[in-house]
Copies of this chain bind each other. A is one copy, B any other.
Amino acid sequence: MAAIIPLPQAARLAQDAPLDRLVQLVAADMAAVNQTIVQRMESRVTLIPKLAGHIIAAGGKRLRPLLTLAAASLCGYQGQRHRKLAACVEFIHTATLIHDDVVDASDLRRGSPSANALFGNEASVLVGDFLFSRAFELMVEDGSIDVLRVLSRASAVIAEGEVLQLSTTHDSTTSEQAYLEVVRAKTAELFAAACRIGAIVAGRPASEEEALRTFGLNLGIAFQIVDDVLDYSAEQARLGKTVGDDFREGKMTLPVILAIHRGSEAERAFWKRVMDDSAMREGDLSHAQDLMRRHHTLRDAMDRARHYGAIAKDALGLFSDNPVKQAFLDIVDFTIAREF
């Protein structure tokens, strides 16, 4: 499992290449998206661009808008509508990130202080609302009711997924199925919508829209599983990133769920104490990581991620071979092999 075994520098660079290729293929579009993002988070209320800018400038991979741009390109789209819609997707994602940090009371986001830590929960709730509304304004400017349908539905499902996650948090009896339902709703649905929009603006037939939806949904599930594995990975620690955030928050992710399913009575009592009762002690995280190693749960969670990645790749079968399609296929590998 690449993600937890230290790699030599060259291997890590090669591993990032697929995303770079995709970024290069849509570079002009992405520059326009970034410009739209900066312009449209403006407000005479200066705290709004300040707070939103903090999150958006922090970077991240811009994976979701990239998917919209690339999907449109894969569908042969020649216009510019996809740029504004890609910005919408990023706004929706950013709004949910900001609200998530409030919900989780997180102090850090991508290694920098989170918006709520810097600006307070109050402003974070409201600026999230603003970005969300702004996303809908951008969609309305585009004018496609089909796009509006896809993204308003996705937004409602994301919120449902987040609430569902709340109810599984600190519940060590959470099933793998319940976990998958959370992941699908809170993460994969927006990946699916981001991809679908590319086919919609290009006016492609339903079969291509559906193929891209399938691709995005399964890529999104793989992405989230890998994220959840990385939260326990030794490699993360080596890169100076925090490890165990999910553990401290009592989040029931796949590596934990598998460890509970496979554990002895004594081990389950341990998981119950740390997850349900939040009764953490010094050394609990390393013990949890030991149990995961013993039951190979990180490795097997990565196998599950590869399964969804395979579905995503197969969904692209109906598109003819070209550099964008190849980059799309590579992005699945990148998602699974990434270290951040």
Contact = CB atoms under 8 A, between A and B. Distances in A.
Is chain A's interface secondary structure helix, strand, loop, or mixed overall?
Answer: helix
Interface residues of A, number: 43
A153 B133 CA distance: 7
Nearest to A129: B159
Interface stretch (A4-12, A59-67, A143-151, A279-287): A143-151
Contacts of A104: 122
B126 A155 contact: no
A133 to B, nearest CB: 4
Given A48-B160, A132-B132, A153 B126 contact: no
B127 A159 contact: yes
Oligomeric state, in number of copies?
2
A166 interface: yes
A256 interface: no
Contacts of A43: 160, 163
Nearest to A102: B125
20 contacts: A43-B163, A44-B160, A47-B163, A96-B129, A102-B122, A103-B121, A103-B126, A121-B121, A125-B125, A126-B163, A132-B155, A132-B159, A133-B156, A134-B156, A137-B152, A140-B149, A140-B152, A143-B145, A145-B145, A148-B148
Interface of A: 43-45, 47-48, 95-96, 99, 102-104, 121-123, 125-130, 132-134, 136-137, 139-140, 143, 145, 148-149, 152-153, 155-156, 158-160, 162-164, 166-167
